[in-house]
Amino acid sequence: MADTTRPIETSPSRDAELDRIFAAQRRAFAAEPYPSRETRAARLDALIRAVEANEKRIIDAINADFTCRSRHETIVAEIVVSVAAAKAAKKGLARWMRPRAVATPIHMLPGRSRIEPQPLGVIGIISPWNYPVQLALSPAAAALAAGNRVLVKPSELTPATSELLRDIIRAEFDEGVMAVVTGGADLGQAFSSVPFDHLLFTGSTAIGRKVYMAAAANLTPVTLELGGKSPAIIDESADLAAAALSIAHGKTFNAGQTCVAPDYVLTPRAKLDATVDALAASARKLYPEIDGTKDYTAIISQRHFARLKALVAEAKDAGAKIVEVASSNALDPQRKIPLTIVVDPPADIGLMKEEIFGPVLPVIGVGGREEAIAHVNKGDRPLALYWFGEDKAARDDVLRRTIAGGVTVNDTLWHVAQENLPFGGVGKSGIGAYHGRQGFETFSHMKPVFYQSKFASNKLLYPPFSEKTDKLLNMVRKIV
């Protein structure tokens, strides 16, 4: 926890507003280091109000930043999920804040042992562009529930949404409780160097490394929500049409610009063509009028659009079969990319080495479950894994022998929407987790406390030592 008694050291390289608000939040926390349940609930209500009262403004701002963002996707992924996180935190407050009794060893009785959750102080949140409201406010809900002050730095790639976030949070909160600062990459670097009591970053692995290094200078604990190549495995026992529909939905929701989107598909080699056909049919079913619909989201920027196009071009030049489930001629001017299936691409091209983060889907034929498991395990541990099938033994074998941040069975994405399931990565896909109780504990110091009894016999082990001490130690050894 930050030392709130010493003066704040400002840096000429840091933004003056950032330093000022951080200092104000540290002072506010020092004045109220353990907010009551009622105060925390009121702050969560304010967060809910900020979202619900500004739903249309949020939809319009995100749509402006993307140039086309499905209204329904925004309602589901930004409005509903953010409000659900705050409501779940409010509902859990009484249980989560309560000290938890733990067993005390017999030789230390009649003393008592407890774990007492304590607010950490000031929490920093760096949120990304792909879900600019949800990934700013969902962790903020957990941090407020834990009794902290919160400072958010949203992405510069969604300027309209970032400015709106600043305005709606300013309207509901004193800046000593929660605030938003906006700016470019320079502010992001400065933000990472602030001595927060905990820092949460959601974004790319490359930027996550830089955030981690900057935070390390202050020994600031971090939660990193990154990404990676999340596989979808189709078992021999799967209903292929149902699996394809789920995978196509997961890959086209927000145009695949989702950290847990299925990055590639592993399917039985004998069913490779059938899988490609089923995925294409599913995409046509989901977006029958893709050329003109506002239901299909655009790629966030021209740079990202060009990167995805280059990945597909490289795969085509390497001899992979490309199946575009729409007309590029109609979608290119809208900065949209249809579901683009790349069949059996070579392993050494960019598409198979970096996170795709768009609606481009490699589909790879494998000889069976062993080959699928080996394929997953030879890469970095993914943020998500999806398994499709009805064979429970095969399912359990895959889940035991692969390691991923989270798993959905017979669907995609939905484990992330569960507030009772922690969300986080493993290895290069992330460090730490939040959501629900896990989020409360991430932003709390789970403080161990031992309450000694006046009847304790521990003084018998104080010096000067004697033969009686040896007898007592021998007795303790037998009971521990």
| CA gap 6, 19 in Å, rounded | 14
Catalytic choice (73, 172, 175, 225): 225
| CA gap 359, 29 in Å, rounded | 44
Catalytic choice (259, 355, 419, 441): 259
Could you tell me which residues come within 8 angstroms of residue 339 by beta carbon, excluding any fewer than 6 positions away?
248, 251, 252, 279, 280, 283, 324, 325, 326, 359, 361
68 annotated active-site? no
Distances (CA, A) of 329 to 71, 173, 324: 24, 47, 11
DSSP assignments along 359-419, one per residue: SEEEEEEESSHHHHHHHHHTSPPPSEEEEE-S-HHHHHHHHHH---SEEEESSSSGGGG-T
Q: Which residue in 226, 231, 286, 391 sits closest to 70, CA to CA?
A: 286
Q: Which two tokens stand for residue 430?
A: 């992330």
| CA gap 471, 455 in Å, rounded | 20
419 annotated active-site? no
Could you tell me which residues come within 8 angstroms of residue 236 by beta carbon, excluding any fewer than 6 positions away?
268, 368, 389, 391, 394
Residue 431 one-letter amino acid: I
The catalytic residue positions are 225, 259
